[in-house]
Structure 1
Amino acid sequence: MITPSVSIITPMFNSEVFISETIGSVINQTYKNWELLLIDDCSNDNTLKIIQPFLQAHSNIKLIKNQVNSGAAISRNKGIQAAKGDYITFLDADDLWRPEKLKTQITFIEKENCDVCFCSYDLINEKGDKLNKRVKALEILSYTKLLKSNYIGNLTGMYNARVLGEITTSNLRKRQDWLIWLAAIKKSGKPARGIQESLAYYRIHENSMSSNKLSLVKHNYWVYKKGLRFSTVKSIFSMFVFLNEHFFVKSKQTIKVNKT
């Protein structure tokens, strides 16, 4: 039996503080048939120097360099276009995976015959301390539900590239990952499936967009207007739906957990 391969896409920009730990969480995966594509967006810190030992020690870790600073969307698209794996998944340069993340997801996809899956994840702060909070994955996620708010933590999503092919995203400054999952579910024709187990750690930064309500409105509006090319009226209506979903429905997916 042939073991499916997985391509992991990791954009980097001035990621010297966290990138070693992030790469380490990939190397420590119990599932070993993977390639890690690091896309550097013209970092001017020590990121490239830090990743050199990993590149030398692991032939399945590869570096792609942008010629000019281009943003996360173009960086992810370059990774997707270069990916050779049967499955594609994403890990930002400051987030972490539990060791069983890849194995659990691939086993789940193969067993449940789904094209897109994701999982629950825990929140950590900039120092890596656990915040005693978990974002629970919905068991079943339709395109219509995902359109209301992004229920897929990008560090947890995985899609079947053998079935869905190459799925790239619009060049938006923020929230372009949401468009990838919308496109994947739409192309699949089947809902995404959520694994209830927490398999990843999402790092919260003090200046993160999620803490800025104005940015939340602006960038999500552009998902509807530019990313999905809705009319202005439909985009505004979708934003009212989004705000209701985000603050009164989706917020219930974040629960308290005991520190382990």
Structure 2
Amino acid sequence: MQADKDLISVGIPFFNAEKFLSKAIESVISQSYDKWELLLLDDGSNDGSLKIAKGFEQQDNRIKVFSDGKNKGLGARLNELATLSNGEYIARMDADDIMHPKRLETQLQILKDNPNIDVLGTNAYVIDENDSVFGMRYRENSGMTKVEHFIHPTIMAKKQWFLDNPYDEKAIRIEDAELWFRTKSKSNFRMISEPLLFYREFGSCYYPKYIKVIPSLIYLNNKYPLNKFWIRVLVTSSIAVPTYWFFEVILKNEALKERRNKILFKQKKHYREYI
């Protein structure tokens, strides 16, 4: 099927995201660019997420909900997104994040002006569970930079790129890093330093996330045997488990988690103050 030119397919896979899903959807509806479709892909939620999604579907014919009752994982849902979408472009987003109102307009114009770019990402503000901005992932500077990886929910690319480069569904919780690794040598990756997404980070314990990714890293070390990059990631992630456990459980300190962000603000402000 021929993709609809200039139509952006925004894809939000969700699993038990009832607390934040409405705000994510509302931020798409509030975009300055209005030629979009929003695909909401339920990954077997058992909370009120699906009901929320269907409620928005009834209110706006640009919103489509897909649900098969199964829990397939993010990689599988993102691959489905590429086949289900009708737009020439696909924009990623997570179910607990919030788009800046000019995100779609800005990224689309850059991609149209620079057709040699394969995947375009942006910088992001970091917000907590109360929608307060406490930092920025990268420092903001002028222009656009060549990169080898992205803040996953900020990316936009042509639908065909995603069809040609599917996610490895076995790389659970690290499917994006595997995709960038596999495609960076043949793709033009660019990122603008302007923060166009409010990326949510909260929770007191970070070390369980490293525990859950270890099996996928073992899988990727078998997929890419003796590869220095994946060996290094496996080693550093294994070291991170006891390190984060010590800081978070014993010292009750979240300093290591905060170091993920290049800029930390002295005072928290509601995200609306950055729009």
TM-score using structure 2 length: 0.76
1:137 and 1:167, CA in 2 relative to 1: closer, same or farther beyond 3 A? farther
| Alignment partner, residue 173 of structure 2 | 174
| Alignment partner, residue 124 of structure 2 | 121
Query: For 1:87-236, what aligned pairs fall within 5 Å after superposition?
Result: 87-113=89-115, 114-131=117-134, 133-136=135-138, 139-142=144-147, 146=148, 151-162=149-160, 165-171=163-169, 172-188=171-187, 190=188, 192-206=189-203, 211-212=206-207, 215-216=209-210, 219=213, 222-223=216-217, 225-226=219-220, 229-231=223-225, 234=228, 235-236=230-231
Offset, 1:13: 1.0
Aligned residue type for 2:78: R
Q: Gaps spanning 5+ residues in structure 1: where?
A: 244-250
Offset, 1:46: 1.2
Does the alignment pair 1:42 with 2:37? no
Aligned residue type for 2:145: I
> Are the aligned partners of 2:123 and 2:195 in contact in 1 as well (CA < 8 Å)?
yes
| Alignment partner, residue 35 of structure 2 | 33
Q: How many residues align?
A: 242
Q: Gaps spanning 5+ residues in structure 2: where?
A: 239-258
Aligned residue type for 2:224: F
Which one of the candidate residues 253, 264, 274 is aligned to 1:256? 264
- Separation of aligned partners in 2, 1:68 and 1:165: 22
| Alignment partner, residue 70 of structure 2 | 68
1:122 and 1:157, CA in 2 relative to 1: closer, same or farther beyond 3 A? same
- Separation of aligned partners in 2, 1:237 and 1:181: 16
Of stretches 198-207 and 24-33 in structure 1, the one that deviates more from structure 2 is 198-207
- Separation of aligned partners in 1, 2:222 and 2:37: 30
RMSD over aligned Cα atoms: 3.1
- Separation of aligned partners in 1, 2:139 and 2:222: 24
TM-score using structure 1 length: 0.79
1:157 and 1:16, CA in 2 relative to 1: closer, same or farther beyond 3 A? same
Aligned residue type for 2:125: D
- Separation of aligned partners in 2, 1:181 and 1:84: 24
- Separation of aligned partners in 1, 2:98 and 2:222: 30
> Are the aligned partners of 1:116 and 1:184 in contact in 2 as well (CA < 8 Å)?
no
Offset, 1:219: 2.0
> Are the aligned partners of 1:179 and 1:223 in contact in 2 as well (CA < 8 Å)?
no
| Alignment partner, residue 245 of structure 2 | none
Please tell me whether Structure 1 or Structure 2 has the larger radius of gyration of its CA atoms. Answer: 2
